[in-house]
Amino acid sequence: MVDWQGLSGLLFDMDWLFLVGTAAFSVSGYLIGVKKRFDLLGVLIVALLTAIGGGVIRDILLNRIPVIFFDASSVWVITATLLVSWAMSLHKVYGVGMYRVFIVADSIGLIAFSLAGAELGIHYGLNFFGVLFVGFVTAIGGGIVRDMMVNDVPFILHKDVYGTVSMLVAGLLYAANSLGWKGAAVIWSLFALGLAIRLIAHWRDFRLPQV
Amino acid sequence: MVDWQGLSGLLFDMDWLFLVGTAAFSVSGYLIGVKKRFDLLGVLIVALLTAIGGGVIRDILLNRIPVIFFDASSVWVITATLLVSWAMSLHKVYGVGMYRVFIVADSIGLIAFSLAGAELGIHYGLNFFGVLFVGFVTAIGGGIVRDMMVNDVPFILHKDVYGTVSMLVAGLLYAANSLGWKGAAVIWSLFALGLAIRLIAHWRDFRLPQV
Amino acid sequence: MVDWQGLSGLLFDMDWLFLVGTAAFSVSGYLIGVKKRFDLLGVLIVALLTAIGGGVIRDILLNRIPVIFFDASSVWVITATLLVSWAMSLHKVYGVGMYRVFIVADSIGLIAFSLAGAELGIHYGLNFFGVLFVGFVTAIGGGIVRDMMVNDVPFILHKDVYGTVSMLVAGLLYAANSLGWKGAAVIWSLFALGLAIRLIAHWRDFRLPQV
């Protein structure tokens, strides 16, 4: 059984969600790397950063050596995703249908990693703010670093409710935990809720107001 | 008694300085976020990063979980500052008088956080360079990350003596400590010195020469 | 005997290589800082970041306080390099001959720091991916942060085989170590191999293909 970045002990049965999320994050890095006309290594770095950056930053914040340095199973998922993307020239055949699949996969990753990060934060005894922060960073940190690196203003700063949903499920997990509600049922409920909000918000193009 | 990011044990009686500094850093993040036309979450993230980024980087460097994940009191200050800024549409009423208040508040934060960071570095047994680095990062790290994120070249790289003063007070604190001069009197003297230099340099528009 | 960022215990006799590499990284930071018209402090920060950034990120990833905060010997090398660069107005007299010297010195730093980082990763029991990552980050992390800070897309994402060579020697060191081949002979062989590949690739202007 694959131990996704050491999280499966906490969130059992969610392995395939992390797999889907990791693959989606790799694809999003791949597409940006190709669009920016980086060379092979550049595309690889950007895709890797997107997919593992959040987990690495989470581990730095939690004061431990990145789990991926001891269990590299997600590196294999990323490598396989990149090979397939490259073999099928994904950036050329990328159309509306594929975009829809990508959004669903990416949203699965967003919610699964937010919940996993928040769970870990609770496990470390962090306060509400810390749990929110760690959940958010686990899910979105890789994308932020990628955007900073390729000189885009991070998408999270001006793009729909992506980050809000991440914080929402992390915050709700903290609240549930404080009330003594724990276990798989709580996590799966929050997962379903978060995924629904994210997808509905995306398709209705809901945006947060500007100040 | 509020324990400002775990620092008040070291720098007693300076609590209100950290409060003023945190509020000023939040405002500077708020103004930049609004100017860049980010959405609500974006403005919140930018303001938070500016105000707490330095402390988080300091804690990462000192190899401990960020203090703010256990004591979130400064998050309340940031939230309150943002609510007030938003309620009064600060970015619209921001004029010369308010700018002057802001500069003083921001300078108080600059010097107080530099000294607090340096004090912590000394406490950890770092060398001169380490104390300088940690003092500097505590005060200015948040602003640098914010500027990198919103795609500005960090202000510190080409804007008056801001960073120099931070290093100066940190270095003097290290020197004083080496000479056996410790206690509140030393810190308050350096605080007054640093604040004076910063404000005079600002109003006389003194700049470091270019190479 | 100078203990280069705590590495000489692992890589004895390579001290002068780290010295050459540190000086070269400082010069590359200096030239970029001057070109971007930063003030004195800005140039100093950019040069420092380039030269020590990789080691600091490496230590953060390995969950320890940066070695440079306890042994600042490389700060002296950086300071001396900057003073000499400034005294001779390096950016004005910088021509083809000097560029060639710089490329050799920079390549020595690239390979030496990659090997030292990889050696440290092996020492910490990291897996193949971790060793690659830490070797890469030790050598190139400073340059990446510098480029992100001054708003350039990191050179590593679209510039010849620089990063590939770093990963190659780190990966080979891991492989050699797994086979039980250890000691100075292995490291020196890999050093010579890496340096040769880097220099040949540079002068033939070999580039990785784009996707």
Q: Which of C42, C63, C71 sits opposite B63 (nearest CB)?
A: C63
Residue A195: what pLDDT?
94
> Mean per-residue pLDDT for C13-32?
85
Which residue type, as a one-letter code, is found at position C196? A
Q: Could you tell me which residue, C1 or A133, shows the higher pLDDT?
A: A133
Using an 8 Å Cβ cutoff, are B22 and B79 in contact? Answer: no
Using an 8 Å Cβ cutoff, are A21 and A4 in contact? Answer: no
pLDDT by residue (tens digit) across B75-96? 999 999 999 998 988 888 777 7
Alpha-carbon gap, residue B24 to B101, rounded angstroms? 9
B93-96 long-range contacts (CB < 8 A, ≥24 apart) are: B94/B31
Alpha-carbon gap, residue A69 to A129, rounded angstroms? 27
> Mean per-residue pLDDT for C96-120?
89
Alpha-carbon gap, residue B85 to B91, rounded angstroms? 8
B180: tokens are 């056996």
ipTM above 0.90, yes or no: no
Q: Which of A126, A128, A153 sits opposite B151 (nearest CB)?
A: A153
CB contact under 8 Å between A210 and B149, yes or no, is no
Residue C4: what pLDDT?
47
Give chain B's end-to-end CA distance (angstroms, integer). 47
Residue C167: what pLDDT?
94
Q: DSSP 3-state assignment of C87?
A: helix
Q: DSSP 3-state assignment of C188?
A: helix
Residue C64: what pLDDT?
95
Q: DSSP 3-state assignment of A89?
A: coil
Residue A130: what pLDDT?
96
Instruction: Kindly list the distances between the CA atom of residue C3 and the CA atoms of A104, B127, B128, C12, in Å, as whole numbers in the listed order.
Output: 52, 15, 17, 10
Rg (CA), chain B: 16
Q: Which of A36, A41, A70 sits opposite C127 (nearest CB)?
A: A70
CB contact under 8 Å between C72 and B211, yes or no, is no
Residue B3: what pLDDT?
46
Q: Give the chain B residue nearest A209 (alpha carbons).
A: B39
> Mean per-residue pLDDT for B92-111?
85
CB contact under 8 Å between C210 and A38, yes or no, is yes
Using an 8 Å Cβ cutoff, are C133 and C150 in contact? Answer: no
Q: What count of Cα atoms within 13 Å lies in the side-chain half-sphere of residue B84?
A: 10
> C touches which chains (3+ CB pairs under 8 A)?
A, B
Residue B158: what pLDDT?
65
A67: tokens are 């789990």
Which residues in chain A are closer than 8 Å to C157, comparing Cβ atoms?
A: 33, 36, 38-39, 41-42, 45-46, 149-150
A183: tokens are 């276990």
CB contact under 8 Å between C158 and A38, yes or no, is yes
Please give the share of chain B, as a percent, with pLDDT higher than 90.
Answer: 50
pLDDT tops 90 at residue C202: no
Q: Note whether A205 contacts B: Cβ–Cβ < 8 A.
A: no
B49: tokens are 């990063």
Give me the tens of pLDDT residue by residue for chain A, a chain 211 residues long.
344 444 444 444 567 788 888 999 999 889 988 888 888 888 888 999 999 999 999 999 999 999 999 988 889 999 999 999 989 888 887 777 778 888 888 899 999 999 999 999 999 999 999 999 999 999 999 998 888 888 787 777 766 678 899 999 999 999 999 999 888 899 999 999 999 999 998 887 766 666 6
SS (H, E, C) A100-127: HHHHHHHHHHHHHHHHHHHHHHHHCCCC
Q: Could you tell me which residue, A133 or C103, shows the higher pLDDT?
A: A133
How does DSSP assign chain B, residue by residue?
Answer: ---GGG-TTTSTT-HHHHHHHHHHHHHHHHHHHHHTT-BHHHHHHHHHHHHHHHHHHHHHHTTS--GGGT--HHHHHHHHHHHHHHHTTHHHH--HHHHHHHHHHHHHHHHHHHHHHHHHHHHTT--HHHHHHHHHHHHHHHHHHHHHHTTPPPGGGSSTTHHHHHHHHHHHHHHHHHTT--SHHHHHHHHHHHHHHHHHHHHTT--PPB-
Residue C5: what pLDDT?
47
Alpha-carbon gap, residue C168 to C189, rounded angstroms? 13
pLDDT by residue (tens digit) across B144-163? 888 888 878 777 776 667 88
Alpha-carbon gap, residue C178 to B23, rounded angstroms? 54
pLDDT by residue (tens digit) across B44-76? 889 999 999 999 999 999 999 999 999 888 899
pLDDT by residue (tens digit) across B134-143? 999 999 999 9
Buried/exposed B10-34: b ≥16 CB within 10 Å, e otherwise: ebeebbebbbbbbbbbbbbbbbbbb
Residue C1: what pLDDT?
35
CA dihedral B74, C69, B165, B163 (to 10 degrees): -80
Q: Could you tell me which residue, A33 or C10, shows the higher pLDDT?
A: A33
- The whole-chain average pLDDT of chain C stands at 86
Using an 8 Å Cβ cutoff, are A197 and A101 in contact? Answer: no
Q: Note whether C87 contacts B: Cβ–Cβ < 8 A.
A: no
Q: Note whether C149 contacts B: Cβ–Cβ < 8 A.
A: yes
Using an 8 Å Cβ cutoff, are A207 and A160 in contact? Answer: yes
Q: DSSP 3-state assignment of C32?
A: helix
Range among C33-47, C130-144, C155-169 with highest mean pLDDT value: C130-144
Residues contacting A105, CB < 8 A, separation 6+: A20, A21, A23, A24, A27
pLDDT by residue (tens digit) across B7-18? 444 444 567 788
Alpha-carbon gap, residue B65 to B74, rounded angstroms? 16
Residue B182: what pLDDT?
85
- The whole-chain average pLDDT of chain B stands at 86
CB contact under 8 Å between B152 and C151, yes or no, is yes
Q: Note whether C156 contacts A: Cβ–Cβ < 8 A.
A: yes
